[in-house]
Structure 1
């Protein structure tokens, strides 16, 4: 498949209803309004056993260069983590201007060999979306299956406690999510996160003209651990 063919497919899959939703979420005007379900279908053409990873990564680079939100989101879904160099990921990160794309790029970088280095770098970076990217990446690294020890996450709990309330809006949201992800890893980290959450107090996020709500950390973790107990 050529880039032109793929970009034409993206354009055709867009809908005005989805585009308006994306606009309300602050994704910017350069979007076709392609649903994540449709993006997932496109992804299957490039990701999986026997697929050409080099071709997928080259198409991802071209998709990113368009500046289109849907194209950039798809780029993060089809690029091969082993073929995109740290400098390229950094260049992509510098152009992120909304929280959804920050989360999508974080999901990609989580699969690279330089994920922890970028988490350390981006969580310290100035700027709302650089920080959002860093904390979204930290959340990914905290998901089940990671072999990282609790000690790798504990310093971030203390740092978030100190910085969350003064952080920019979407960075603050990323920090809140990172605390929840970290608190879901172990009973020890759960206790650390809950005590930090008590000291932080209520977290208020401006979600714009949407119905999104900010999860409260203690109740969310209680539900998370209750589900774990049922599965066990």
Structure 2
């Protein structure tokens, strides 16, 4: 499949209803309105057993350069994290202008060997979306990096406690999500996160013209740990 074929397919798969939903969520005007179900189907066509990783990576780069929200989202799903360099990650990060794309890019970059370095860099960057990307990446590592010690997360709990209430809106949302992800790792981290959450107080996020709600940390962690207990 060529890039032109893939872009044409994305354009054809878009719907006005989904596009309006994306606009309400602040994903930007440059979108076709492709559903995530369609993204998943396209991903299966392009990556997996027997598929050419180099071709998928080439397509991912072309998709990202197109500038379309849908194309960039698919790019994060088919790109190979092992073929990324820190410089390329920085270049993609500089293009992020909404929280959905920040979270999608974080999911990709969590598979790189420089993910922790980018967390350290981006969580201290100026600007709403660099920070959102940094904390979304921290959340991913909290959920996926089983080899990381609890001590790696403690400084971020402290920093979030100090900075969350004055952070830009979508960065604040990323911080709240990172606390929940960190608190789900171990009982010790859960205790630290819940204590920090008590000191932070209620977290108010502007979700725009949507029905999205901000999860309260203590009740959300209680549900996570209750599910863990059932599975155990």
The alpha-carbon deviation at position 145 of structure 1 amounts to 5.2
Q: Quote how far apart the aligned CAs of 1:147 are.
A: 1.0
Partners of 2:75 and 2:180 in 1: how far apart?
Answer: 27
Match of 1:151 in 2: 151
Secondary structure of 2:82's aligned partner: coil
Q: Give 1:45 shift.
A: 1.3
Shift of 1:46: 1.7
- What's 1:123 paired with? 123
Residue in 1 that maps onto 2:23: 23
Name 1:179's counterpart in structure 2: 179
- After superposition, the C-alpha distances for 1:26-67 in whole angstroms (9 at most, x for unaligned) are 111100000011001001112212211110011011001111
Give the whole-Å Cα distance in 1 for the aligned partners of 2:119 and 2:44: 28
**Structure 1: distance between partners of 2:51 and 2:67:** 25
CA 1:143 to 1:36, structure 2 compared with 1: closer, same or farther past 3 Å? same
1:60 corresponds to: 60
TM-score (norm 2): 0.99
Distance 2:189 2:144 in 1: 13
CA contact (8 A) 1:144 1:185 kept: no
Cα distance per residue 1:158-183 (max 9 Å; x no partner): 00000000000000000000000000
Q: Which runs of 5+ in 1 are unaligned?
A: none
> What is the rounded CA distance, in whole Å, between the counterparts of 1:180 and 1:98 in structure 2?
21
TM-score by length of 1: 0.99
Residue pair 1:57, 1:84 contacting (<8 A) in 2 also: no
Residue in 1 that maps onto 2:89: 89
- How far apart are the structure 1 equivalents of 2:60 and 2:48? 15
Q: Distance in 2 between matches of 1:69 and 1:84?
A: 20
* Aligned residue number for residue 51 of structure 2: 51
Query: Residues of 1 paired with 2:145 and 2:227: CA distance?
Result: 17
Which structure features the higher share of helix residues?
Answer: 2
Q: How far off its partner does 1:84 sit?
A: 1.8
- Partners of 1:46 and 1:119 in 2: CA distance: 29
Matches within 5 A, 1:194-213: 194-213=194-213
After the TM superposition, list the runs of 4 or more consecutive aligned residues in structure 1 that deviate by more than 4 angstroms: none
Structure 1 residues 101-110 or 76-85, which shifts more?
A: 76-85
* RMSD, aligned CA: 0.7
Shift of 1:143: 0.4
Tell me, yes or no, if the aligned pair for 1:169 and 1:206 is still in contact at 8 Å.
yes
Equivalent residue, structure 2, for 1:228: 228
Q: More displaced, 159-168 or 83-92?
A: 83-92
- Equivalent residue for 1:188? 188
Equivalent pairs counted in the alignment come to: 232
| Unpaired segments ≥5 residues, structure 2 | none
